[in-house]
Amino acid sequence: MDHKNYEIDELISAKSIAARVESLAKEITSFYSDTEKLIVVGLLRGSFVFIADLARELDLPLEIDFLEASSYGNSMKSSREVRILKDLRGEISGRDVLVVEDIVDTGYTLHHVLGLLKSKKPKRIEACALLDKPSRREINIKSRWVGFEIPDEFVVGYGIDYAQRNRNLSHIGKVRFK
């Protein structure tokens, strides 16, 4: 869709995001305080900005790895078929793992990814999502940590895109079609 056919209204400010990332990092640091090393797994591509900011705030020894999963393509709706496009490079067996997701919508992607990673036998595995849309949930799954609960709106910014656009916005914006 042509980017001229929609406008973006600010939903969550950059300042609010920064404050919430800092508080999430404190909670996560406390939870994993006894870890030898935390493996932070970012789900590409939408989480890359969030994971960078969150990792800088974590006061823990950590390693960062990425997994790319897709259930959207260039669509606004989940296909409910989760494809792994890039798997982890490192080993997570017996390790503490934090999965970082941009947004939990229907729950299919997070459910699939956690199932895949649990099969690799980590010591502990938890999830942190920047955004949660509980009204869209089709699978009973929750992130241990959530930045913001949002209504059923299509959002962009802070790493989240629409057809590969608007990832570079410093805030979360609601897409409004003309």
Quote the pLDDT of residue 77.
54
Bridging pattern class, strands 155-156 and 96-104: unpaired
Q: Quick one: tokens of 131?
A: 């955004």
Residue 2, pLDDT > 90, answer: no
Domain ranges across the chain: 15-152
In which band, very low, low, confident or very high, does the pLDDT at 61 lie, cut at 50, 70 and 90? very high
Q: What is the pLDDT of residues 64-112, one digit of tens each?
A: 999 988 765 444 555 567 778 888 998 999 999 999 999 999 999 899 9
Residue 156, pLDDT > 60, answer: yes
Quote the pLDDT of residue 1.
46
Q: Is the peptide bond preceding residue 45 cis, with omega within 30 degrees of 0?
A: yes
Please give the mean pLDDT across all residues of the chain: 91
User: Average of pLDDT values for 138-167?
Assistant: 94
CATH code of the region 15-152: 3.40.50.2020
Which ranges in 5-141 belong to alpha helices (H)? 14-31, 48-57, 108-118
Rounded to two decimals, the pTM is 0.91
Read off the DSSP letter of residue 140: -
Quote the pLDDT of residue 80.
67
Question: Which residue's structure tokens are 């990792």?
Answer: 55
73 near 102, Cβ under 8 Å?
no
Which ranges in 32-158 belong to alpha helices (H)? 48-57, 108-118
Quote the pLDDT of residue 79.
54
Tell me whether residue 105 is one of the annotated catalytic residues: yes
Q: Among 105, 132, 152, 161, which one carries the catalytic annotation?
A: 105
User: Average of pLDDT values for 131-160?
Assistant: 95
